[in-house]
Amino acid sequence: MEIILAVIIGLLYASGIYLMLRRSLIKLVIGIVLLGNGVNLLIFLLGGLVKEHPPIIGPTAKLIGSLYADPIPQALILTAIVISFGLQSFAIVLIKRAYIVVGTDDLDQMHTTEEEDD
């Protein structure tokens, strides 16, 4: 399971970075989404995978069992998902506005910021 996840994370990072290096705005956003998901899976994997042992104390037991899944990575991922959701929706609105105003989705054509104003 760890191996599969590690390969998937590697693929997500690699394709995310690759798409961010492309010139198209749409590919840029897709790259951002992939990277965001890759990092969430990475936190999940590095928190340690434990199957079928939720961190919950049973109704009869007084203590939690010796082996249980670490709840902190899940809390971290939840926070990171919410944040990256907000950022990604901003990114989509931003590239839509940028496409309408600039009139191109080619990042190489976006050089107004480097032009002289005089």
Partner 1 sequence: MTNNLIIIPIVFQLLMAIALLAFWRKVLTQKIISITGSVIAVVIAAFLFHKVYDGGILTMQAGNWQAPFGISFVADAFSTTMLLLASVSSLAVSAYSSVSIKKARLRYGYFPSLHFLIMGLNGAFLTGDIFNLYVWFEVIIISSFVFITLGGKKVQLEGAVKYFTLNFLASILFLTAIAVLYGLTGSLNMADLAGKIHDINNQGLVQVTAILFLVGFGIKSAIFPLYFWLPDSYHTPQAAISSIFAGLLTKVGIYALLRVFSLIFVPDDFLKTLIVIIAGLTLFSGGLGALVQTNMRKMFSYMIVCHIGFMIGGLGMFTTAALSGAIFYLLHDIIVKTNLFLVGGLVYKMTGEISMRKMGGIYSAYPALSLLMAIPLFSLVGIPPLSGFWPKIDLMQQGFFTGNYFLLGSIIFASVITLFVITRFWSEAFWKKKEDLEPKPHVKYYDAMPTLQKGLLVGPIILLSAVSLYLGLGAENIIRLSDHIAGELIDTSAYIEAVLGVNKINSTP
Q: Where are the beta strands (DSSP E) in 1-118?
A: none
Is 95 a binding residue for partner 1 by CB under 8 A? The answer is yes
Is 81 a binding residue for partner 1 by CB under 8 A? The answer is no
Show contacts with partner 1 in window 31-60 (CB under 8 A): 32, 35-36, 39, 42-43, 45-48
Buried b (16+ CB within 10 A) or exposed e, 2-38: eeeeeeebeebbeebeebeeeeebebbbbbbbbbbbb
CA distance 65 to 82: 31
Binding partner 1 by CB under 8 A: which of 8, 20, 30, 69?
20
Is 5 a binding residue for partner 1 by CB under 8 A? The answer is no
Q: Position 88: which residue type?
A: Q
Instruction: Give the footprint of partner 1 on this chain (CB under 8 A).
Output: 20, 25, 28, 32, 35-36, 39, 42-43, 45-48, 70, 72-73, 76, 79-80, 83, 86-87, 90-91, 94-95, 97-98, 101-102, 107, 110-114, 116-118
